Amino acid sequence: MIDRIETINKEYGFHYEGFLFVKDGCCLSPDAVDALMKRGCEYIGIPVKTMHKIRKTYASTLLHNGVDLSIVKDMLGHADESTTLKHYINNIEDNEETENKVRKALGDKGAVTSDQNIISFSNKIKAGNLELPKLPAN
């Protein structure tokens, strides 16, 4: 995709200090790029992705494929690794891949057997929202 954009830019004489998305000798604003991305996604019939979501996917993909967190942080322009971890890193694997990694980490000797599901305690479940069964009175 980047090669295609560079070819188009060269063909039409668009350039601005190494930026990909340029028009009339200036780089496009993030909002303009998002609008183009939205129109492009709608045109080809895929879910709309913002440039920010693509940036998060980029960071997550790098980290999950072995690129050191400090390098990912630098590539995103963050001063602090905690910003990168807290706001940019997501699990990019499907449930089956995630479950397999958890099983492997437990060495298949953990409290989980192959016929049991792995329970994920997401931050969406709050203790106050749980309804516990009532114990019989003695």
Is position 128 within any domain? no
- Residue 6 included in any domain: yes
pLDDT in tens, 5-42: 888 888 888 877 778 888 877 888 889 989 988 999 99
My answer on whether 34 and 67 are in the same domain is no
Domain range enclosing 22:
1-47
User: Is the domain of 4 the same as that of 22?
Assistant: yes
Whole-angstrom Cα distance, residue 72 to residue 58?
9
* 123: in domain: no
pLDDT higher than 70, residue 128: no
Q: Is 64 found in the same domain as 28? A: no
Q: How high is the pLDDT of residue 108?
A: 64
User: What does the pLDDT look like over 99-125, one tens digit per residue?
Assistant: 888 888 887 654 455 556 655 555 444
Q: Please give the model's pTM, rounded to 2 decimal places.
A: 0.59
Beta strand 26-27 with 22-23 is antiparallel
Looking at the fold, whether 58 and 21 belong to one and the same domain comes out as no
**67 lies in a domain?**
yes
Question: How many independent structural domains does the chain possess?
Answer: 2
List Cα–Cα distances, 21 to 15, 41, 50, in angstroms.
9, 17, 15
